[in-house]
């Protein structure tokens, strides 16, 4: 039995996207799988039955290097591939394989419009990193495990809320250019025709309150009030999910949910679109096509670099509603 360390430091969506690698290593090799991530993201993995041990650090990887060195890993699988992960590999001096981030190809698409990216999801590229061990993707999609104590009892949120009878709208995203303008979210929520639960972090608390106030009493604002696991539980029990290009999108895909994914400055071509089990496709992509300035970044900006924000402004609420129905 091999002992393998996986490196992926952030963030929610990226860590969820590594779960097929974890599962396949455990099931196909019988490996002892350890995982190193940032402390804030460690709870995402503590309930995963395919992970034997989670190591985490707060500020710098040096905090855990001595403990990692004592494990004498057979392989280090670097699914982050940056200077920090290089420091871990250098310190451990163990055989290692690193994920190809295709940074040059992404740069070319963003800055020149030249598309050299493979038509391949990032999960399949993660799996390439362990192919030399004889591990193959099993077709079972993403994993997300919710601790029993974090499962939501929906009537605790609102008395009339029932599983399978509401829509989740994950309104957050780390960068503003990934988010619909607030007035469009209000219009979509107002016209859904069914209860809507708004999900987001503390940064979305005020916008969530404003959206719920303007859209109607059928909209429940849970932004900033739920943990990630509780948000995942709300997604698991929803009928459908509307989401930006963010971690909640990947959690929804892990539960095989029908998704309406709304894309702004980023594009599915980067390989981060919803990933389902083999043979299942429940995502509807909504985006502005044929904008010469899109994608303007592989991550995002605090505001549109061009000033017009057409990638989101040009998406009619009616298109999202039609995709939802």
- SS3 letters for the chain? CCEEEEECCCCHHHHHHCHHHHHHHHHHHCCEEEEEEEHHHCHHHHCCCCCCEEEEECCCCHHHHHHHHCCCCCEEEECCCCHHHHHHHHHHCCCEEECCCCHHHHHHHHHHCCCCCCCCCHHHHHHHCCHHHCCCCCCCCCCCCCCHHHCCCHHHHCCCCCCCCCEEEECCCCCHHHCCCHHHHHHHHHCCCCCEEEECCHHHHHHHHHHHHHHCCCEEECCCCCCHHHHHHHHHCCCEEEEECCHHHHHHHHCCCEEEEECCCCCHHHCCCCCCCCCCCCEEEECCCCCCCCCCCCCCCCCCCCCCCHHHHCCCHHHHHHHHC
In this prediction, residues 171-181 reach a mean pLDDT of 95
The answer as to whether 59 is a domain residue is: yes
Query: Per the domain annotation, does 139 fall within a domain?
Result: no
Does one domain contain both 99 and 213? no
Task: Note whether 175 and 320 are same-domain residues.
Answer: yes
Do 221 and 318 fall within a single domain? yes
pLDDT at 97: 97
Answer with the one of 104, 133, 162 that is the final residue of a domain.
Answer: 133
For residue 307, give its domain range.
152-324
One domain for residues 68 and 206 = no
Q: Are residues 156 and 81 in the same domain?
A: no
Same domain, 22 and 57: yes
| Domain harbouring 185, CATH code | 3.40.50.2000
Please indicate, yes or no, whether residues 120 and 8 belong to a single structural domain of this protein: yes
Number of domains in the chain: 2
Tens digit of each residue's pLDDT (9 = 90 or more) over 233-274: 999 999 999 999 999 999 999 999 999 999 999 999 999 999
User: Residue 147 falls within a domain, yes or no?
Assistant: no
Kindly state whether residues 292 and 158 are assigned to the same domain: yes
* 319/171 same-domain check: yes
Q: Is residue 163 part of a domain?
A: yes
pTM of the model: 0.96
Chain mean pLDDT for the chain? 96
Q: What is the pLDDT of residue 39?
A: 97
């Amino acid at each position: 039995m091999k002992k393998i360390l996986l490196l992926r430091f952030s963030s929610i969506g990226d860590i969820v996207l590594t779960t097929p690698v974890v599962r396949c290593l455990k099931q196909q090799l019988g490996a002892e799988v350890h995982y190193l991530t940032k402390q804030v993201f460690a709870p995402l993995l503590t309930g995963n039955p395919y992970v034997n041990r989670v190591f985490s650090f707060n500020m710098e990887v040096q905090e855990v290097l001595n403990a990692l060195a004592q494990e004498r890993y057979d392989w280090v699988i670097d699914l982050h591939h940056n200077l920090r992960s290089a420091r871990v590999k250098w310190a451990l001096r163990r055989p290692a394989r690193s994920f190809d981030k295709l940074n040059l190809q992404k740069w070319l698409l963003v800055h020149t419009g030249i598309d050299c990216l493979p038509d391949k999801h990032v999960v399949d590229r993660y799996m390439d990193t362990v192919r030399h061990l004889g591990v193959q993707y099993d077709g079972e999609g993403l994993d997300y495990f919710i601790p029993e104590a974090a499962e939501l009892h929906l009537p605790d949120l609102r008395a009339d809320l029932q599983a399978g009878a509401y829509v989740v709208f994950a309104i957050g995203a780390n960068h503003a250019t990934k988010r619909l303008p607030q007035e469009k979210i209000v219009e979509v929520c107002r016209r859904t025709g069914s209860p809507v639960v708004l999900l987001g972090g503390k940064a979305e608390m005020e916008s969530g309150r404003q959206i719920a106030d303007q859209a109607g009493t059928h909209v429940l604002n849970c932004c900033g009030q739920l943990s990630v696991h509780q948000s995942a539980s709300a997604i698991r029990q929803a009928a459908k999910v509307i989401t930006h290009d963010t971690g909640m999108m990947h959690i929804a895909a892990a539960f095989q949910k029908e998704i309406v994914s709304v894309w702004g400055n980023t594009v599915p071509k980067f390989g981060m679109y919803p990933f389902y089990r083999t043979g299942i496709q429940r995502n509807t992509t909504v985006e502005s096509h044929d904008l010469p300035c899109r994608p303007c970044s592989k991550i995002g900006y605090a505001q549109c670099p061009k000033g017009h924000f057409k990638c989101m402004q040009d998406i009619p609420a009616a298109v999202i509603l039609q995709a939802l129905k």
